[in-house]
Chain A
């Protein structure tokens, strides 16, 4: 019998703002992408970005700790604080002794890493700042979460590129299933760093270099031309169902489990569209065991299924995801709506954590994130997309799947179900 794990709290720091604005914006098909304040229009450098807004770390973190903390850690700790407040959960005593945190991040504190190295190259090792270095370590955010909240349980950081957020939720599920914690804060965070934007620009993945035209982000669009860099953090409060029940907690949704699948790919590149189209069987098998609806189901209600895809507005990945989801959903596609949040929050390693927060909110409210920028879907994509004017499903949403196909082909799909 798989362990029942529920989501009782959500905390978000995002380019759309904190939780209420994040969800309102996603449902309205709004975007958090704005012009870079300092962009030089003549240099050919990217002019757009999705930077977190309406967030002040001072509102969440005590000054003594905040002074030492890097920006990525600040986002993660703020998201944890708001998630616990949302869960109405005070972790103390035995609860704090076993409670832990699992964070997914692709690159962590990249901006200070760059500063540290620039200083090292310019001035030599003698002047390197000892206070900066501990903040460069990828698990600095989880360390700060434990210090801030007094959590003495599992303290884990996973690094899986574009799948970092999903991988963290998967590991958190297992960590509760193996009895190592009753309560975990799980999700992820990544920050927007100029050096990373420059690298992506140089390799031609940013809009508009991946297709030409105006700079924008519109997943699954016929005219998509690359991604826009984003940032943010989202943390969920996960509880063993019995623990949540015992304290009378409000349950937003159930984390049902996850599926993994490897698609053959170069370790540094996405799988081909053909490989993605031939994939899906392993995921379908694992999801079926978790109760994910399939076309063959005879007795299911009329509630819809939502899939939040990692599609990021690049020519390649969106085609790969469309092929993979078409194969994975099969006949069930007719009762499914597919969406992506990358047009709203941009692309970053831990974006899957924000997608998971959106999945939970969709199950709790019955509404869904819409592809606000989409003008004309890619003709090769036959998936039922959540467009700007797509109404909320009349019977709500019963299952929400967060799907990611990262470079290297190690796919993760995290399944949430409406609270019973």
Chain B
């Protein structure tokens, strides 16, 4: 029955065999890798809605993405923007993996992280209702609003009939999705999993971060002395993961290995990180322990690095705490300087960035970083990417509610 039986167990190696993305920098993985190396920043004036009156009017938006021709017509009308991002990214990842889904559909799972789903459409519906046309607003987008539908849409379109889940743990959502996918493979619940995250901009999130004074008027500058807040973004990243044996049997190309993840909670405050970063450190320690990788073997950390004064300082301190002397030879960078904070998709987009760094042998830069914060004694790879042969890498994601996740990757 389960062809994954032979490799079941906590230590079964799990590999990444398919990559896909849609984001503000690129509509494909190849273009994304090139943009990361070039150090491009995608943060620009908001076009998705009228941003008049906000503290910041910039964001990293996905531009010029039309529903693909292969999308069935009911979905062309109904799929939310988040669903569309997930569909396009998943199509690329599945094609890249050359996985034959139809051969064993019930053995292919799907798990996504997301935080707002089709909120933008729901906001428009609500505004029309408030505008006094209670019975005449378009109802159909509302059925596509809840973010649970993103996984349902992928399952329906690509015939993924294994376990299905959507996690919504704010900004760590899709880091946790990668972790759950890893567990499903190791527990034998699936032979392969389509995993990642998707997020589209909406007014609620923009207004919320605006009200918290968390938005930066300028493109965000993680780890810079003058950092003043975050920039929002949108997009999706999807990966295909499977056991190494399963990949070997079908002679699949392996981009990287997914070694382990660790979760923790600050148990401190809903929006402010723990001042000593104990939760962040705990998640990294748990991830390293579960991955069986020593701190000294980590060459690169893709930081949560939002660009808010509080987050970056605490994260840098937590890294120094966990890595000790080894922190001096680590490279640490934030992809949010290029892609903005994509919330539910951030863990997956930054996981993808980490995979590309390991595969292609380079350190993605922290773009916009001009004056590294003297309080943070780390190499933040300012502005320009650098070639580097990396053995192991870790990606941090921290969410509202004080939840933290770290994911450890290795070279293929």
Contacts and interface: CB of A to CB of B under 8 A. Distances in A.
Interface of A: 68, 96, 100, 106-107, 113-114, 116-118, 120-121, 124-126, 128-130, 133-140, 142-144, 146-147, 149-161, 164, 167, 171, 174-175, 177-180, 195, 198-199, 202-203, 260-262, 264-268, 282, 285, 406-410
Nearest to A149: B267
B377 interface: no
Given A147-B270, A171-B165, A409-B156, 13 more contacts: A117-B126, A134-B400, A137-B115, A137-B400, A137-B401, A138-B115, A146-B266, A152-B279, A203-B142, A262-B160, A267-B75, A268-B152, A285-B1
Contacts of A174: 180, 183-184, 187, 189
B250 interface: no
Contact of A152 (B153, B160, B164, B264): B264
Contact of B167 (A130, A151, A158): A158
A410 B269 contact: no
Nearest to B75: A267
A120 B400 contact: no
A267 B153 contact: yes
B401 A410 contact: no
Contacts, number: 217
Interface residues of B, number: 75
A174 B279 CA distance: 22
A267 B211 contact: no
Contacts of A142: 169, 401, 403
Contacts of A118: 126, 130
B345 to A, nearest CB: 15
Contacts of A146: 265-267, 401-403
Interface string B267-303: 1111100000001001000100000000000000000
B102 interface: no
A106 B402 contact: no
A182 to B, nearest CB: 14
Interface in B124-149: 126-127, 130, 134-135, 139, 142-144, 146-149
B374 interface: no
Contact of B265 (A152, A167, A171, A180): A152
Nearest to A116: B204
Contacts of B176: 156
Contacts of A139: 168-170, 399-401, 403
B169 A155 contact: yes
Contacts of B78: 268
A121 B402 contact: no
B163 interface: yes
Given A106-B146, A158-B167, A268-B144, A410 B1 contact: no
A143 B149 contact: no
B95 interface: no
A125 B142 CA distance: 24
A124 B52 CA distance: 9
Contacts of A267: 75, 144, 149, 152-153, 155-156
B41 to A, nearest CB: 24
Contacts of A147: 267-270, 402
A129 B267 CA distance: 23
Contacts of B155: 262, 267, 408-410
A137 B264 contact: no
A197 B181 CA distance: 35
B138 to A, nearest CB: 11
